[in-house]
Amino acid sequence: MTLAFNDENDTLTNVIAHLKDTLGAEVPSGTFRSTIQPLQPLQIDELVVDLAVPSELQRNRISSQLIERMEELASEFLGRTVQVRISVAQMRLHTDDRTGGTVGALTDQRKDGIDLRDNPSDNGRSPAPAAPMAAPPTRTDGGIYTFDNFVIGNSNRFAHAAAVAASEAPGQKYTPLFIYGGSGLGKTHLLRGFGHNVNSLFPNKSCLFITTEEYLTQFVAAISSNSVPAFAAKMRRLDVLLIDDIQFIAGKSGLQEELFHTLNTLYDLGSQVVLSCDSKPDGIQDLEERLRTRFSQGLVVDVQPPDIETRMAILNSLAERIGFWLPSDVCELIANRVSDNVRSLEGALRQVYARSNLFNDPITSELAESVLRDLVPTSEAQISVDLILQETANVSGYTVEQLISASRKRALVEYRKIAMHLSRDMTNHSLAELGAYFDRDHTTVLHAVNTSQDRLGERADFYDRYCKVQKAIQDRVRAGE
């Protein structure tokens, strides 16, 4: 779909025509043809005129030589002071008399839930109305990731305080806010909580949570459909952008280029950016130095493994959300036995609860001991997804190829869910990485994990299968194979 020439777009078209007519008489003909003629419209609001050119070279020339004159001409034409902003975008040009041959093949900007029409906000500019934040993952305990259910301890207190402060004044403090730490320590929880808080406090602000995997998928789709300008415009109009697992941008030069310009634009607009990563910016391999610098220019905070007091608080909080009473001696036993990360801690508690709920046994230290006895902490053993798949195949009678296939045979699907669940609990891989192992996207893995957690406490046959696979993995690890 190409841009429809409604009132807003007619205004933008007329602005470009005025710029070209005036500058055509002011600059050398060669400069005009190579730099001004390729200008394309993106969008316009009360404060900003967004235009695009095909290359970084053209953008740099305009920014260094002509941008002030263009802003003067645009402001004079519109009768108000505006900023002219130039982006780099792929485009297909064709002749159109409206603008001297440079309008036509831009994709409609009013897509994907963000309306670019005027909507004045409390910060004085005119962003799009709030776009719904990507739906938070379903929790089997019925909750969602918020600051209220984030358990604070010495290991994460500073990161939590920074996230809360920034979410209460988006764009005014700590942008970008860069949160790093090992897998399963609560970084995604903080980002989700950030988005939840922004949506509650500022319902008119547009806020998007997205994983780097999703960002890449959408970017590739935009390239394939010749809609990069629309994709870029959507991302660059946000009030709050939350990107999870930014380390996966490593080595992806095209996506790094796109993200760099998006971060620059959002910074200029006073928008808020929050990033999560498994390492400091300096630790990301194959990352452009300009992005590394941009990641570091705000506030960089870390999340460490929780101490025992925090682990016990996490266990009590989770038990409360699930809806059962956790005796203090059982809580202390689990907290002492499982110390690698929050994800392993929650997984251990859910197994204790599942055993109790399924067989109607009271939750005692003896029951917890029997459940935890065979568990090998992730920190003490290198458990791989390949090992988990192989042992799942051995127990189930299916092959590894069948487990990762598209087959929907019921028993096979259940073993696939078990393998995904165990991979989530027993390895430090992210959902995106696990999706790659199972040839599925991260949302499918998340759904499988949540479904498996539910069935553990509901179906004896499923619980038995899960425990058999888990024991086979633990036996294999102990054997040192």
pLDDT tens-digit map of 441-452: 777 888 888 888
The alpha carbon of residue 189 and the mean position of all alpha carbons in its chain are separated, in whole angstroms, by 11
Segment 11-29 shows an average pLDDT of 87
With 60 as the cut, is the pLDDT of residue 189 above it? Answer: yes
With 80 as the cut, is the pLDDT of residue 374 above it? Answer: no
pLDDT at 381: 54
pLDDT at 119: 36
With 50 as the cut, is the pLDDT of residue 54 above it? Answer: yes
Place of tokens 């670019």: 116
Q: CA–CA distance from 41 to each of 4, 37, 147, 347 (Å)? A: 12, 12, 40, 51
pLDDT at 242: 95
Phi and psi dihedrals of 205, rounded to 5? -85, 140
Strand pairing of 177-181 and 272-277? Answer: parallel
- Token pair in block for residue 429: 């891989």
Phi and psi dihedrals of 86, rounded to 5? -110, 125
Rounded (10°) CA dihedral 433, 277, 213, 168: 140
Helix 342-359 to helix 308-322 angle, to the nearest 10 degrees?
Answer: 40
**Pick the residue with more confidence: 421 or 58?**
421
pLDDT tier at 7 (50, 70, 90 boundaries)?
low
In one-letter notation, the amino acid at residue 48 is V
pLDDT at 143: 46
Instruction: Please state the pTM of the whole predicted model.
Output: 0.58
Select the highest-mean-pLDDT range: 21-25, 243-247, 408-412, 452-456: 243-247
**Residue 100 Rama label (left phi>0; alpha psi -120 to 50; beta):** left
pLDDT at 108: 31
Local structure of 51: helix, strand or coil? strand
Select the highest-mean-pLDDT range: 202-206, 370-374, 436-440, 476-480: 202-206
User: What percent of the chain has pLDDT above 70?
Assistant: 84
pLDDT in tens, 329-347: 999 998 888 876 787 888 8
pLDDT at 27: 85
pLDDT at 142: 37
pLDDT at 137: 38
Strand pairing of 272-277 and 299-303? Answer: unpaired
With 90 as the cut, is the pLDDT of residue 353 above it? Answer: no
Count other Cβ atoms within 10 Å, centred on residue 423: 25
Task: Check if the beta carbon of residue 41 is closer than 8 Å to that of residue 103.
Answer: yes
Segment 79-101 shows an average pLDDT of 56
**pLDDT mean across residues, the chain:** 79
- Write the CB contacts of 427 (distance below 8 Å, at least 6 apart in sequence): 378, 383, 384, 385, 388, 434
pLDDT at 89: 66
pLDDT at 437: 86
pLDDT tier at 163 (50, 70, 90 boundaries)?
very high
pLDDT at 275: 95
Ranges 236-245, 375-384, 393-402: which has the least confidence? 375-384
What domains lie within the chain, and their CATH numbers?
Answer: 7-99 (3.30.300.180), 157-303 (3.40.50.300), 322-372 (no CATH), 374-481 (1.10.1750.10)
Segment 294-319 shows an average pLDDT of 88
Q: Taking the CA of residue 374 as centre, how many other CA atoms within 13 Å lie in the half-sphere pointing to its CB?
A: 16
User: What percent of the chain has pLDDT above 90?
Assistant: 19
pLDDT at 380: 46
**Pick the residue with more confidence: 149 or 120?**
149
